[in-house]
Amino acid sequence: MDIFSDLLLGAATAFQPVNLLYGFIGCLLGTAIGVLPGLGPTATIAMLLPITFGLQPESALIMLAGIFYGAQYGGSTTAILINLPGESSSVVTAIDGYQMARNGRAGAALATAALGSFFAGTVATLLLAVAAPPLAAVALKFGPAEYFSLMILGLVASVALASGSLLKAFAMIIFGLLLGSVGTDVESGMQRYIFGIPELYDGLNFVAVSMGIFGICEILRNLENEHERSVGVKKVTGLMLTRDDFRRIRGPVLRGTALGSFLGVLPGGGAMLSSFAAYALEKRISPNRAEFGKGAIEAVAAPESANNAGAQTSFIPMLTLGIPGNPVMALMVGAMIIQGITPGPNVISEEPELFWGMIVSMWSGNLMLVVLNLPLIGLWVRMLAIPYHLLFPAIIGFCCIGAYSINNSAFDIFIMAGFSAVGFALSKLHFEPAPLLLGFILGPMLEENLRRAMLISQGDPTIFVRSPLSLLLLGVAVVVLGLVLAPSISRKRDEAFTE
C-alpha cells in the first residue's frame, strides 16, 4: 500500500456527492459561526452532534471537521474587517489586519489570510497523510501500561499549554476524570454514582455535558457583558495581491505553516497557540518588524497560516492514538464512539474509507473555503448585523432539542442545564473548563488501562517505568511539566496569553 492508492481511496469517499455536500455544509456553518462572535466551534459541534447520529460515519465526521477548520477562516474575516475576532485563534490577526483595512487594504488582508490558510491547510493535510500511518503502527504495539503513560502525557501537556493557574488546571482534569467514573464499572459491572437513575447506567452523556459547559455557559458569560453591536463596514475592494505582497508573505506563510503544524500535534495545542506563537516569531525576525501593529501584511500571513495548520494537524493524535488534544477533538472522539467506531490506532486499518476520506475532504474543504470566502465576503459581513439578543435564544432552543434527541429523553436536558450551572460557577472561580472535558473523555480509558496494567504486573507499579516506551512517555511528561514550572517560561506563557 502506498500513499497514492490510499489517497485515491480517500478521494473516492470524499468526492461522493453526499460527502461533498456535507463537507460544504460543514464549511459554510463553520464560516458562519467563525464570523459570529460568541458562538465557537466547540459549542456548535456539541449542538450538532445529535443531528449527525443518523448520517453515515464518513459524512458525519467530514461535516464536523469542516465546521472546525471553517471557523478558523470565518474568525479572521471579522478580525480584519471590524477588529472583532470571531475566534480566539484570530485575536492576533486583528492587530495588523484591522490596520490594513483602515489603510484601505482590507481586500489584500483577506486574500492573504485566505491564501495563507489554504497553503497551510494543504501542507498540514499532506503531513497528516504521511505521518499518521507510521504513528498508528507504533501505537498498535502499545500495551495497557504504554497507553496509560501516553494518556498521562496527553493530560499533562494539555495543562501545560492551557492558560491560567496550573494547579487549577490539574484540579479540573481530576474533576473531569471523576465525572468520567459515573456509570457502570466495566470490569466488575458495579454501578457507581448512579443514585438509582437508569439513564446514568451508561455514564453522563458527554454531548449533554459539553453542551452545558461550552454552549449554554458561554451564553451566560456573554449576557454579562452584553453590548449593542453597531457594525459599519466599507465595501471591500482589491482582493488581488501585488507582486511585492507575494514576496513579503512567502517567508511568514512558510514559517507559520511549519510552526502551526508542529504545535497543532501537541496536546492542548491547536489553532490558538499556533497563531500566537507565529505572530511572536515574526515580530522577532521579520525585516519589516517596525511596521508591526501598523498594518504589516506579514503579521496577517503568519498567524493565519499557523492557525489553519494547527487546526489540521491537531487531528493527528486524535486519529492515530485516539487521544484528543483539545475540546473539539474530544467531541470528534465522542462522535466516532456514537457511530460505533473505536478511536485509536485501528481506525486506519479497519476504517480506511473513513480515515482517508476525511483527510482528502480536509483538502477539498480548504479549497471550498477559499472559493466560498472571498466572493461571499459581503454576505458574512451582513451576518454580523444579527443582534445577539436574537441569536442566543435560538442557540438555547437548538441545544434543548439536541440534548433531548440524544436518547429521546428529557433527562439529558437536565444534565445539560446542570452542567451549564457547574461550568458557569467554575468560570467565575477562574477554573478553565477545557481540561475538565479532556479528563472526562479520557477518564474511562485511563482507568481501564491502569487496572489492566496493574493486573498484568500483579500490583507492581514499576511496570510503568520498566517498559522503555512507557518510560519515555512519562519522561517527556516530566520534562514538559518541568519546563512549565521553570520561572522564565511560565512568565513567557503569561505574556503570550495576556497580549
Partner 1 sequence: MLKIRNGRDFVGGAAMIAVSLMFIGFGRELDIGNSFQMGPGYFPVMLSLLLIGIGVLIMVQSLVVAVRDEPDAPANWKAYILVILAPVLFGLALSHLGLAPTMFLMVGAVSCASRYAGWRHSIALALFMAISSVVLFTRLLSLPVSAFGPWIPFLGN
Contacts with partner 1 by CB under 8 A lie at 51, 54, 165, 167-168, 170-171, 174-175, 177-178, 181, 185, 187-188, 190, 192-193, 195, 216, 219-220, 223-226, 228, 387-390, 392-394, 396-401, 403-405, 408, 410-411, 413-414, 416-417, 420-421, 424-425, 428-431, 447, 450-451, 454-455, 458-459, 461
Q: Compute the least distance from the CB of residue 151 to partner 1, in Å.
A: 13
Phi, psi of 184 (to 5 degrees): -80, 130
Residues 404, 407, 408, 409: is their CA dihedral positive or negative? Answer: negative
**Residue 294 burial class via C-beta count within 10 angstroms: exposed 0-12, middle 13-18, buried 19 and up:** middle
272: which DSSP letter?
H
Q: How far is the CB of 401 from partner 1 (least distance, A)?
A: 6
Query: In 10 A of CB 175, how many CB atoms?
Result: 18
Smallest distance from the beta carbon of 271 to partner 1, in angstroms? 26
Nearer to partner 1, 288 or 405 (CB): 405
Nearer to partner 1, 249 or 445 (CB): 445
Question: CA separation (Å) from 190 to 144, 186, 198, 202, 309?
Answer: 22, 8, 13, 12, 44
Least Å distance, CB 185 to partner 1, is: 4
Q: What is the Cα–Cα distance from 381 to 3, expressed in whole angstroms?
A: 40
Q: Would you say 181 or 339 has its CB closer to partner 1?
A: 181
Q: Whose Cβ is closer to partner 1: residue 21's or residue 425's?
A: 425
Residue 232 or 459 with smaller CB distance to partner 1:
459
Count of C-beta atoms within a 10 Å radius of residue 240: 9
Shortest distance, position 281 Cβ to partner 1, whole Å: 29
CB 225: neighbour CB atoms within 10 A?
A: 6
Question: Would you give the end-to-end CA distance of the chain in angstroms?
Answer: 47
Nearer to partner 1, 144 or 269 (CB): 144
Q: How far is the CB of 116 from partner 1 (least distance, A)?
A: 34
Residue 246 CB, shortest distance to partner 1, in Å, is 43
Q: How many other CB atoms are found less than 10 A from the CB of residue 486?
A: 11
Annotate 349-413 with DSSP letters as a single string.
HH-HHHHHHHHHHHHHHHHHHHHHHTTTHHHHHHHTTS-HHHHHHHHHHHHHHHHHHHHTSTHHH
Closer by beta carbon to partner 1, 104 or else 397: 397
Sign of the Cα torsion 294, 298, 301, 303 reads negative
* Closest approach of partner 1 to the CB of residue 157, in Å: 18
C-beta of 231 vs 421, nearer to partner 1: 421
* CA–CA dist 304, 459 (Å, integer): 50
